[in-house]
Amino acid sequence: MTIKDRMAEKMAGEITLSREPGPTIRKWREIFQASQTELAEFLGVSPSVISDYESGRRKSPGTLTVQRIVKGLLAIDEERGNRVLRNYQSMMETNEAILDIRELLIPVPMTKFVQAIEGETLANEENLHHELKGYTIIDSVKAITSLTAFEYMKIYGWTSERALIFTGISTGRSPMVAIRVHPMKPALIVYHRPEKMDDLALRLAKTETIPLVVTRMPLDKMIEVLRDIG
């Protein structure tokens, strides 16, 4: 099976199995940075049809329509040099520092995400009004010792609209400094069971206006909880 076939299978499976296929279609369309008009042109329908599918105003698409939507997005990506496909291929080989990385079937409000992991917000609580489209759990020690600059980009998966969850935290300074200097920023930062909180880490989080959350939930339980969310 080619990498393109694997990606098509993943996309179709997510849309078909989703409890809310409309938002899942929208998620994939946004990942491919395709407009409703572009996708509609490939399918030979009006943009309002795509809009109706994504909003849930139209009955969930059948298997054949889902396949056409997937083919359309992949065709649009091919015309643009297979940017998304190449990104997916690079993600297939993840570094040992990445403990878990997932894209959510439907966007999840930050408040729901934080509540699910029994989190406490330490900075920028007023910015918890956005939605998350994915999350990555990172071993902070292994990230420092083994992640190259190229591999660091992999922690963002398909989109930066995600939570970065750092484990093995001592004071929290190193992850926040790394986020500060990198041009790509996550939507939410979570520290898993830090030994203590560094004042500089808090100041940097406030400067970046990124919500910073701490959770004491056991790692295995947190992974289990997050795999059921979205």
Decide: 97 and 146 in contact? Cβ < 8 Å.
yes
Decide: 225 and 200 in contact? Cβ < 8 Å.
no
Q: Quick one: what percent of the chain has pLDDT higher than 90?
A: 48
Q: Is the pLDDT of residue 12 over 80?
A: yes
pLDDT at 123: 92
Average pLDDT score over the chain: 88
- CA-closest candidate to residue 98, choices 45, 156, 43, 22: 156
Residues 6+ apart with CB under 8 A from 170: 194, 195, 196
The segment(s) of the chain belonging to CATH 1.10.260.40 are 3-88
Q: Fold for 94-227, please state it.
A: 3.40.1390
Direct distance between the N- and C-terminal alpha carbons of the chain, in angstroms, rounded to an integer: 28
Q: Round to whole Å and give the CA distance between 23 and 107.
A: 7
Q: Fold for 3-88, please state it.
A: 434 Repressor (Amino-terminal Domain) (1.10.260)
Q: Round to whole Å and give the CA distance between 192 and 167.
A: 5
* Three-state secondary structure call for residue 211: coil
Sign of CA dihedral 82, 83, 89, 90: positive
pLDDT at 175: 86
Q: Round to whole Å and give the CA distance between 188 and 120.
A: 12
pLDDT at 90: 64
Q: Round to whole Å and give the CA distance between 79 and 32.
A: 11
pLDDT at 45: 92
Q: Round to whole Å and give the CA distance between 226 and 152.
A: 22
Give the pLDDT confidence of 135-176 residue by residue, as tens digits: 999 988 887 777 666 667 778 887 889 999 999 988 888 888
- CA-closest candidate to residue 95, choices 164, 143, 156, 162: 143
pLDDT at 113: 96
b/e 162-187 (16+ beta carbons within 10 angstroms → b): bbbbbbbbebbbbbbebbeeeeeebb
Could you tell me how many residues make up the chain?
230
Q: Is the pLDDT of residue 7 over 90?
A: no
Q: Which amino acid would we find at residue 117?
A: I
pLDDT at 145: 73
The segment(s) of the chain belonging to CATH 3.40.1390.20 are 94-227
pLDDT at 225: 92
* pLDDT band, residue 28 (cuts 50/70/90): very high
- CA-closest candidate to residue 20, choices 106, 103, 102, 104: 106
Give the pLDDT confidence of 66-115 residue by residue, as tens digits: 999 999 999 999 999 988 888 777 665 566 788 888 888 788 999 999 99
Q: Is the pLDDT of residue 187 over 90?
A: yes
